[in-house]
Amino acid sequence: MSVHDRAFARPEEEALSRTCAALDESVSAILVAQGATIHRDIAQPVTPVGFDADQVKEELNELSKKETEIISYLLHHNEQLFTADMDGGHAATLVSRGIVRNALRPGQVFDVTDVPMEIPRAIWNVLKTIKDRFPYSGDADDPYPWRVGFYEQL
């Protein structure tokens, strides 16, 4: 999505956005000329282009034990949206798979230990149809399975 495709609340926001986009292009051109690799447009659409429920189900068959535990917890507690450390903690691989993504809004203030994360709606809907494949065995006092404990960090 280019600067021209966005709606802005104030003219100053549009001017700043255009200036930043032009600066990004200039810096990128210089870096590319120097041999650097530049990753452009890495933002993901709300629902992946060509979303295929069967492909998502196949990806869900390949989850690790920890990934399955996280999905089980979220389904059991009906939590499509949750907070995690900035790096995703134990959910980092789910982020890499595209099953979990950052849910911050532009300009939203956040704490690096409580970043909003979400399972995209299309994937959440698939998960709800196969919820029985993710039995939950915890109890009310269990910690969030995506959080990395203090002693695990040592």
Which of 1.10.10, 1.10.3300, 1.10.3470, 3.40.50 would CATH assign to domain 53-133?
1.10.10
For the whole model, what pTM was predicted? Answer: 0.67
Determine the length of the chain: 154
Cβ neighbours for 53, distance < 8 A, ≥ 6 positions apart: 122, 126
Q: Where are the domains of the chain?
A: 3-33, 53-133
**pLDDT surpasses 50 at 134:** yes
What's the confidence (pLDDT) of residue 128? 95
Average pLDDT over residues 107-120: 91
**pLDDT surpasses 90 at 5:** no
**What's the distance, CA 13 to chain centroid?**
25
User: pLDDT tens for residues 28-74?
Assistant: 788 778 887 665 554 544 545 456 888 888 889 999 999 999 999 99
